[in-house]
């Protein structure tokens, strides 16, 4: 875990999440900000944990106040502007008791860890019965192509440690969660293979 923490701190020093909200990259990014906020709008009184919050850009100025957790202290320093409770910890070993949250947000998180199954297991542990996970994953093929077009190097994000697909999410969820909804973004009528992101809501069994 120390190796992953060091990697994320190094990337945080080089690349700011703020760059994601401008230009064409920002247009794609805002599609899943909208999906996340629409989901939270349906659950205004729930206790929410955002795992991998980074600099807090996702829900900044949204009116939502989740507990926000990230492994990078450098990014959490920038997230202080949100005014939300912040926790520096590893998503694969969440520092919370069992069955205390209604919702866990895993928005563009699973691809950043070497053992995403452990984050899913931890989310299941801290969720109340019937609690929900909101998951968003990128299509790493299209994302890498986009970085090449924008002359960014390396083509794949340097802190993407796992390839995550809708099929892998279903495998990780098996026996623990049922699917409430799922679709691709930003073009809902297109399959994931032709899209940038995959969005899913899972409910704890």
Report how far residue 76's alpha carbon sits from residue 53's, in angstroms, rounded to the nearest whole number. 8
CA pseudo-torsion sign 40, 102, 26, 143: negative
Predicted model pTM: 0.89
Domain 2-204 bears CATH identifier 3.40.50.150: yes
Give the per-residue pLDDT at 144. Answer: 86
Mean pLDDT by 10 residues, the chain (205 residues): 66 57 72 95 95 93 94 93 95 97 97 96 98 97 85 85 96 97 95 96 97
Reported as half-sphere exposure (CB side, CA atoms, 13 A), residue 133 has a value of: 30
Report CA 117 to chain centroid distance, whole Å. Answer: 14
Report how far residue 173's alpha carbon sits from residue 141's, in angstroms, rounded to the nearest whole number. 23
Nearest CA-CA partner of 169 in 180, 158, 159: 180
Give the per-residue pLDDT at 74. Answer: 92
């Amino acid at each position: 875990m120390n190796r992953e923490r060091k990697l994320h701190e190094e990337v945080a020093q080089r690349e700011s999440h703020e760059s994601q909200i401008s230009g064409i990259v920002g247009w794609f990014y805002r599609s899943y900000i909208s999906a996340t906020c629409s989901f939270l709008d349906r659950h205004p009184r729930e206790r929410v944990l955002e795992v991998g919050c980074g600099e807090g850009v996702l829900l900044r100025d949204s009116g939502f106040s989740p507990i926000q957790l990230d492994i990078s202290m450098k990014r959490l320093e920038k997230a202080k502007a949100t005014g939300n409770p912040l926790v520096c910890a590893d998503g694969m070993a969440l520092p919370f008791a069992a069955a205390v949250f209604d919702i866990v947000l895993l928005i563009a998180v699973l691809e950043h860890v070497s053992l995403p199954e452990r984050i899913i297991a931890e989310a299941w542990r801290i969720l109340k019965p019937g609690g929900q996970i909101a998951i968003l994953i990128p299509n790493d093929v299209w994302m890498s192509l986009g970085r090449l077009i924008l002359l960014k190097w390396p083509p794949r994000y340097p802190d993407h440690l796992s390839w995550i697909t809708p099929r892998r999410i279903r495998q990780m969820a098996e026996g623990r969660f049922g699917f409430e909804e799922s679709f691709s973004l930003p073009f809902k009528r297109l399959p994931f293979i032709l899209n940038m992101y995959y969005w899913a809501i899972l409910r704890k069994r």
